[in-house]
Structure 1
Amino acid sequence: MVKVWHALVGGLATVGALGVGGWHLVTHWAPSTERYKLQGVDLGEDAAVPEWPTVRGRGADFAYLVATSGTDRRAPNFETNWQALPDAGMRRGAAHLYSLCQPAEDQANAFNTVVPRTGDALPAAVDLSFREDCAARPERAALVAELRRFLTIVETHTGKPA
């Protein structure tokens, strides 16, 4: 009985140590600064407002923030985060979650309405995502044409290639 107890305690201790080690690795991992000189973060559509000076202190040079999704969704904390980044010494860029079910022009206009045109902004980013509310899967040529339309409108607004 004592041997079983020792084996159980030893097994639990091992599992606990592996869990703590794994948690530490996940929360403290960063890519090599020798290989990747500039490092950054991206914030999703529903992200909170981080402590940007802390993020900068942990080595992030820039942040991409999701600003819009399709024509109808705006990231609630985009403006707050956008305004806070320069004060933290970080570069900033805006991203759009592109919907296959909504017109490119309307999506670009939604993005341009939310994202200010500033000289310090990084080029806009586009994330092609399959939204739960969209079952469309357009042909390649149609998708490329719509993306070009979206990019042309956004690039005209931002003054930078996306």
Structure 2
Amino acid sequence: MSTVRVVRPVLAALLAAATALVGALPATAATPVRDPNGNHEMGSQIRLHEGTPRSAVVPTALAATVSGIDVASYQGNVNWASWWNQGKRFAYVKATEGTGYTNPYFAQQYNGSFTVGMIRGAYHFARPDVSTGAAQANYFASNGGGWSRDGKTLPGVIDLEYNPYGATCYGKSQSAMASWIRDFGSTYRSRTGRDAVIYTSTSWWSQCVGTASFSGTNPLWVARYASSVGTLPDDWAYWTFWQYSSSPIDQDYFNGATDRLKALATG
């Protein structure tokens, strides 16, 4: 008997078995849309450059704080009721990046967090290398980053972290970066009546902005994945938000009781 005649039936049987096995496997969920060239959610580049702990971070006991989360397209459609039941009372949602990207899940995430009872706000992933601060502030304010005095909307956030596309400081000197941030901030305030919250890490700020003072106008959201908040950037004496973990989702604290969070929302 020819060897070919023996092998062919065996291969056919193996192929049929493999096809049956694949058909029996459960279907996987659709992968959420990632931001252009990567998952540029809040803190993604800080975690990449500064590292994260291998185990979940457990912050040391703090005085009055409010627990919250932040999300981007990577999280897809969020189960807001589940997070509410886990004690999360505020949320920030990525709205925009540069002047050419909007989060395709923004409506579900922004409106869903509001509907379940959370105080929510929007954030913008800054791209100082592609356009002016004013252009990006206007883009952000026009695409989800606005503010209203409804007691449930937090001021917008400018997310300033390591450049996912190239040079750490987007090719800018410290003085030029500070000017770019002021351009964004003044334009955002003229559009919304609020000063933007600045999200950053102490390391990135020290490298790329230095000692330019924003503490008198802009609340600080510091990223540090550890049990304590550590040294703050520049001359900020206190933090308003702290992103302390990314497991199983970005975990945040507001520095104050619920009434102070509501006061921030109402302006």
TM-based fold match above 0.5? yes
Match of residue 114 from structure 1: 143
Counterpart code for 1:117: W
Paired with 2:69 and 2:153, the residues of 1 have a C-alpha distance of 15
Match of residue 133 from structure 1: 165
Counterpart code for 1:98: A
Counterpart code for 2:124: H
1:117/1:157 contact within 8 Å kept = no
2:93/2:123 contact within 8 Å kept = yes
Deviation at 1:33, TM superposition (A): 7.4
Paired with 2:122 and 2:139, the residues of 1 have a C-alpha distance of 13
Match of residue 158 from structure 1: 192
Counterpart code for 1:90: M
**Is residue 2:130 matched to residue 1:96?**
no
Greater radius of gyration (CA): 2
Paired with 1:137 and 1:83, the residues of 2 have a C-alpha distance of 36
Aligned length: 137
Match of residue 50 from structure 1: 78
* Change over 3 Å in CA distance of 1:53–1:125 after alignment to 2: same
**Is residue 2:99 matched to residue 1:71?**
yes
Secondary structure of the residue that 2:172 maps to in structure 1?
coil
1:67/1:78 contact within 8 Å kept = yes
Q: In proportion to residue count, which structure has more helix? A: 1
1:45/1:67 contact within 8 Å kept = no
Counterpart code for 1:145: S
Structure 1, residues 48-95: CA drift from partner, whole Å, max 9, x if none?
121111111101110011111111111111122111122101000111
Paired with 1:32 and 1:92, the residues of 2 have a C-alpha distance of 25
**What TM-score, normalized to structure 1?**
0.74
Paired with 2:156 and 2:61, the residues of 1 have a C-alpha distance of 24
Structure 1, residues 114-154: CA drift from partner, whole Å, max 9, x if none?
12432231111111133433443201111111111111111
**What TM-score, normalized to structure 2?**
0.46
* Change over 3 Å in CA distance of 1:96–1:86 after alignment to 2: same
* Change over 3 Å in CA distance of 1:129–1:159 after alignment to 2: same
Q: Which runs of 5+ in 1 are unaligned?
A: 1-24
Q: Which runs of 5+ in 2 are unaligned?
A: 1-54, 197-267
Match of residue 179 from structure 2: 145
Counterpart code for 2:176: A
Paired with 2:115 and 2:107, the residues of 1 have a C-alpha distance of 14
2:147/2:155 contact within 8 Å kept = no
Secondary structure of the residue that 1:39 maps to in structure 2?
strand
User: What is the alpha-carbon root mean square deviation over aligned residues?
Assistant: 2.3
Secondary structure of the residue that 1:118 maps to in structure 2?
coil
Range with bigger deviation, 91-100 or 41-50? 41-50
1:99/1:129 contact within 8 Å kept = no
